[in-house]
Structure 1
Amino acid sequence: MKNYKCPKCSYIYKPERGDWMSGVEKGTPFEALPDDWKCPTCGEPKDFFEEVE
């Protein structure tokens, strides 16, 4: 699964970790996050995240 980075604060969403603060379970791919999901660090919308290698 691919990781995605917030361009504003550099938070990296890692599917193997999920986002416990938002109730996202471990193993949830970025594409499966709700459309209204936001960066847990700075609040940037999901649409602005960039794929990272």
Structure 2
Amino acid sequence: MAKYKCMLCGWVYDSEKGDEAHGIAPGTSFEDLPDDWKCPLCGAGKDMFQAQ
């Protein structure tokens, strides 16, 4: 499973872990995140993330 890094703050979305604090279950791919999902650390949109 892929990891995506926020280019503004460095927070990494790990699809294996999801983002349970914000309702995203483990195993959710980055592509399947809602379009309005934001970085939980800095609030950046999905367009500010880059595959690692």
With the shorter chain as reference, the TM-score category is over 0.9
Kindly indicate which of the two structures has a greater share of residues assigned to strand: 2
In the alignment, the residues of structure 2 paired with residue 8 and residue 44 of structure 1 have an alpha-carbon distance, to the nearest angstrom, of 7
* Distance in structure 1 (CA, Å) of the matches to 2:48 and 2:9: 11
The AA in structure 1 aligned to 2:48 is F
Task: Return structure 1 stretches of 4+ with deviation > 6 angstroms.
Answer: none
List gaps (5 residues or longer) in structure 1: none
- Please give the secondary structure, in 2, of the residue aligned with 1:13: strand
TM-score when normalising by structure 2: 0.95
* Matched residue, 2:26: 26
Which runs of 5 or more residues in structure 2 are unaligned?
A: none
Letter of the aligned partner of 1:50 in structure 2? Q
State how many pairs are aligned: 52
- The CA RMSD measured in Å over matched residues stands at 0.6
Query: How much identity, in percent, do the aligned residues show?
Result: 52
